Chain A
Amino acid sequence: MKELRKPIGRRSLLKAGGFVAANGALGAIWALVTGTGAGASTSGNLRKRPRWIKVVRQPTLGETNADFKRFSGFDMFALYRPLKTQREGAGSFEAEQASKAKRLIAWTNEKKPGFSLPDQQLSEGAWTVMRSARPGVGLLSWTRPPEDEPKEQISQRYTASPEEMANTVKAAARLYGARLVGIAPMNEAYVNLQVPHRDRPHKEQPPKDVQQKDPHSAVHPHEGEDRKSGDSLAHHHSDKDQKGEQGKEQQKTNQPPQDKDIVFADVDVPEVTDAKFVIPRKMKWVVAIAIPMDIELLARTPTPLGDAASALGYSHSAFVVSSLAVFIRGLGYEAIPCVNDTAQSIPFALDAGLGELSRLNKLVTPEFGPAVRLCKVFTDMPMAYDKSIDFGLVEFCKGCKKCAEACPSRALSFDDEPSFKTKGPWNNPGHKTWYEDSYKCFQYWQKSGSACGVCLASCPYTKGDQAWIHEGVKATISMAPPTDGVFRIMDNALGYGKQHAPEQWWTKDSPSGGRG
């Protein structure tokens, strides 16, 4: 007992100190790596990003060449039907749609997992807000309605430092549901040349430039153009609900749908006329926004449940940008809310530091991976710009290729290095990336009876936010690229990225309703 009363010796003190120091150091390293940094504040007004998300001068895949210019605006939704007719002959599109419709009815009747009536209607319901969001009108109006003209007492403009203005807008955007917000400079090259008419997906004749560009065309582009138009393309984007009054009028008069030009002009307010959309040149700021998709739904793709994840993301996007536009107008400035329309969302998101360009040729964010929907608001409200980020994604993508392997239609590139080589007229040429074959992708959509999204679900960056270890893995990838291969193997070994049983979604305790 006497020995017990001896004072603690130097040796014991050193041991205790060593224990505390070693474990404290480990904790400090973890905190340093996953903790917040000084420079990476692009994700929100006050929320700082971890230190492993480095701020860089320009996007990691930002190289462009002379071919880089404004995109036509004709994405695969507008191009699929004419391309199908060109490549596979007259009637191929209609036959495919009829076959798809039959399959869907059969799957519904036999209650195929993921294709039951509730599964399909869940997706339909999730599209509701987005379906009422058309460029330039209603929710996505480019101007304030006359009844909302500012009253005299609040007609004064809100002014502050550019940093404060940016923080104010980011705070509002986050309140409305944005999870990642950044400010990018306006770049006219990112703005589309045209807004395709909403009936464009139903038309067989492609835009002129597409007739010349498609290398796989086996049929004369004008063949079959006099035939009656068939069924809709895909139930989620272009079905009968999307046809507006304009479409009906044009069907009556048998006039081809008019695609509207998007132009820049030295005007004070945005204009939407019958022929064009006019963006004021003074709009030099773009609020780039990412809305996370529900990964429980996305994990059940390719089914209508997976489609509901996209639908919900789009509907949330429409709500966020329309609310933010009204907020900005209330501060005395002009605002143009856009979802997927009007301009390419990805380059603005890259410039605003929301993420990096990936093998998917889509944005991957450090927080939510590629499982986000992007939207943006153009404005003349002066704000501090954000910077691009680098979290080691491009290097990781070079070796990973999990998305390309998982893609059921083999639409994604297996090339080790990104290049300028495009796959078809749906690609916006002139920038270095891994270009995708959207035609193959869309063909699979018709075959599977639903939007796909397997690439998004399989990406190792698409993870839940419960386990601490995900943060540590992402930090290690960012700071030690030689470990990329190990984590890629572990991702497979641990079973991530596989489809979850669709029927189990309905018995989950609390459907999350997105992560926003």
Chain B
Amino acid sequence: MTNSADVITITMRKHAWWFWVLAGLWLQLEVLLVQTALASVRESEYRAAVISGIAAAVLASVGVFGWLRRGDSRKPDRPNESI
């Protein structure tokens, strides 16, 4: 049985400190862009809404892609070499 603290511990150990700093910045920028897109609709500034919406979507894609591919760079290209 693992508890949530264990999960956090394991996850934290998996990545370097700069990964988490970048992840935090990414999250803040994502929130800002989504808020701007939604607010721009309320302000009837549709061009600003579309552009910030696209920027938010691109940033989200990069984040998700990066998360799915996390750790790839640490895997050896030719595993047999390490044997």
Residue positions of A touching B, CB distance < 8 A: 1, 4-5, 8-9, 11-12, 14-16, 18-19, 22-23, 26-27, 296, 299, 463-464, 466-469, 493-496, 500, 504, 508
Contacts A18-B20, A494-B48 hold; do A469 and B32 have CB atoms under 8 A apart?
Answer: yes
User: How far, in whole Å, are A247 and B2 apart by their CA atoms in the complex?
Assistant: 89
Which residues on A sit within 8 Å (CB–CB) of B44?
296, 299, 500, 504, 508
Contacts A12-B12, A467-B39 hold; do A496 and B17 have CB atoms under 8 A apart?
Answer: no
Asked if residues B36 and A23 are in contact (CB atoms below 8 Å), the reply is no
Which residues on A sit within 8 Å (CB–CB) of B42?
464, 466
Asked if residues B35 and A19 are in contact (CB atoms below 8 Å), the reply is no
Asked if residues B9 and A495 are in contact (CB atoms below 8 Å), the reply is no
Is B15 in contact with chain A by the CB < 8 A criterion?
yes
Asked if residues A12 and B13 are in contact (CB atoms below 8 Å), the reply is yes
Is B47 in contact with chain A by the CB < 8 A criterion?
yes
**One of B21-29, B62-70, B72-80 at the interface:** B21-29
User: How far, in whole Å, are A87 and B24 apart by their CA atoms in the complex?
Assistant: 65
Would you mind naming 29 contact pairs between A and B with Cβ atoms under 8 Å apart? A1-B2, A4-B6, A4-B9, A5-B6, A8-B9, A9-B13, A15-B12, A16-B12, A18-B20, A18-B21, A19-B21, A22-B20, A22-B25, A23-B21, A23-B28, A27-B28, A296-B44, A466-B40, A466-B42, A466-B43, A467-B36, A467-B40, A469-B32, A469-B35, A494-B47, A494-B48, A494-B52, A495-B47, A500-B44
Q: Across the A-B interface, give the 4 residue pairs with the lowest CB-CB distance, nearest first.
A: A495-B47, A464-B43, A467-B39, A466-B39
Asked if residues A496 and B24 are in contact (CB atoms below 8 Å), the reply is no
Closest to A21 in B: B21
Which residues on A sit within 8 Å (CB–CB) of B13?
9, 11-12, 15
Which residues on B sit within 8 Å (CB–CB) of A467?
35-36, 39-40, 43
Choose among A9, A14, A16, A464 the residue that contacts B45 (Cβ–Cβ < 8 A).
Answer: A464
Asked if residues A23 and B24 are in contact (CB atoms below 8 Å), the reply is yes
Which residues on B sit within 8 Å (CB–CB) of A8?
9, 12
Which residues on A sit within 8 Å (CB–CB) of B36?
467-469
User: How far, in whole Å, are A463 and B45 apart by their CA atoms in the complex?
Assistant: 10
Shortest beta-carbon distance from A265 to chain B in Å: 50
Contacts A26-B24, A464-B39 hold; do A495 and B45 have CB atoms under 8 A apart?
Answer: yes
User: How far, in whole Å, are A8 and B12 apart by their CA atoms in the complex?
Assistant: 10
Shortest beta-carbon distance from B14 to chain A in Å: 10
Asked if residues A468 and B32 are in contact (CB atoms below 8 Å), the reply is yes
Asked if residues B21 and A4 are in contact (CB atoms below 8 Å), the reply is no
User: How far, in whole Å, are A12 and B2 apart by their CA atoms in the complex?
Assistant: 18
Shortest beta-carbon distance from B67 to chain A in Å: 15
Q: Chain B contact residues (Cβ within 8 angstroms of A): what range?
A: 20 to 34
With A26-B25, A467-B39, A504-B44 known, 17 other A-B pairs at CB within 8 A are A4-B6, A12-B13, A15-B15, A15-B20, A16-B20, A18-B21, A19-B23, A22-B20, A22-B21, A23-B25, A26-B24, A467-B43, A469-B32, A494-B45, A494-B51, A495-B47, A508-B44
User: How far, in whole Å, are A27 and B32 apart by their CA atoms in the complex?
Assistant: 12
Which residues on A sit within 8 Å (CB–CB) of B25?
22-23, 26
Closest to B9 in A: A8
Which residues on B sit within 8 Å (CB–CB) of A27?
28
Choose among B20, B27, B48, B52 the residue that contacts A496 (Cβ–Cβ < 8 A).
Answer: B48
User: How far, in whole Å, are A12 and B12 apart by their CA atoms in the complex?
Assistant: 6
Contacts A467-B36, A468-B36, A495-B48 hold; do A14 and B17 have CB atoms under 8 A apart?
Answer: yes
Shortest beta-carbon distance from B33 to chain A in Å: 8
Closest to A463 in B: B43
Which residues on B sit within 8 Å (CB–CB) of A5?
6
Which residues on B sit within 8 Å (CB–CB) of A14?
17
Which residues on A sit within 8 Å (CB–CB) of B21?
18-19, 22-23
User: How far, in whole Å, are A495 and B49 apart by their CA atoms in the complex?
Assistant: 10
Asked if residues B16 and A15 are in contact (CB atoms below 8 Å), the reply is yes
Most buried by A among B23, B28, B39: B39
Is B10 in contact with chain A by the CB < 8 A criterion?
yes
Asked if residues A496 and B6 are in contact (CB atoms below 8 Å), the reply is no
User: How far, in whole Å, are A1 and B1 apart by their CA atoms in the complex?
Assistant: 8
Shortest beta-carbon distance from B45 to chain A in Å: 6
User: How far, in whole Å, are A504 and B46 apart by their CA atoms in the complex?
Assistant: 13
Contacts A15-B12, A464-B45, A469-B36 hold; do A26 and B20 have CB atoms under 8 A apart?
Answer: no
Which residues on A sit within 8 Å (CB–CB) of B10?
4
User: How far, in whole Å, are A9 and B16 apart by their CA atoms in the complex?
Assistant: 14
Shortest beta-carbon distance from B12 to chain A in Å: 5
Which residues on B sit within 8 Å (CB–CB) of A496?
45, 48
Which residues on B sit within 8 Å (CB–CB) of A9?
13
User: How far, in whole Å, are A12 and B28 apart by their CA atoms in the complex?
Assistant: 22
Asked if residues A19 and B17 are in contact (CB atoms below 8 Å), the reply is yes
Contacts A23-B24, A464-B42 hold; do A12 and B47 have CB atoms under 8 A apart?
Answer: no
Which residues on B sit within 8 Å (CB–CB) of A19?
17, 20-21, 23-24
Which residues on B sit within 8 Å (CB–CB) of A22?
20-21, 24-25
Most buried by A among B2, B17, B40, B51: B17
Asked if residues B51 and A493 are in contact (CB atoms below 8 Å), the reply is yes
Which residues on A sit within 8 Å (CB–CB) of B17?
14-15, 18-19
User: How far, in whole Å, are A9 and B44 apart by their CA atoms in the complex?
Assistant: 51
User: How far, in whole Å, are A81 and B52 apart by their CA atoms in the complex?
Assistant: 48
Shortest beta-carbon distance from A247 to chain B in Å: 42
Which residues on B sit within 8 Å (CB–CB) of A464?
39, 42-43, 45
Which residues on B sit within 8 Å (CB–CB) of A508?
44
Shortest beta-carbon distance from A404 to chain B in Å: 22
Most buried by B among A16, A22, A500: A22
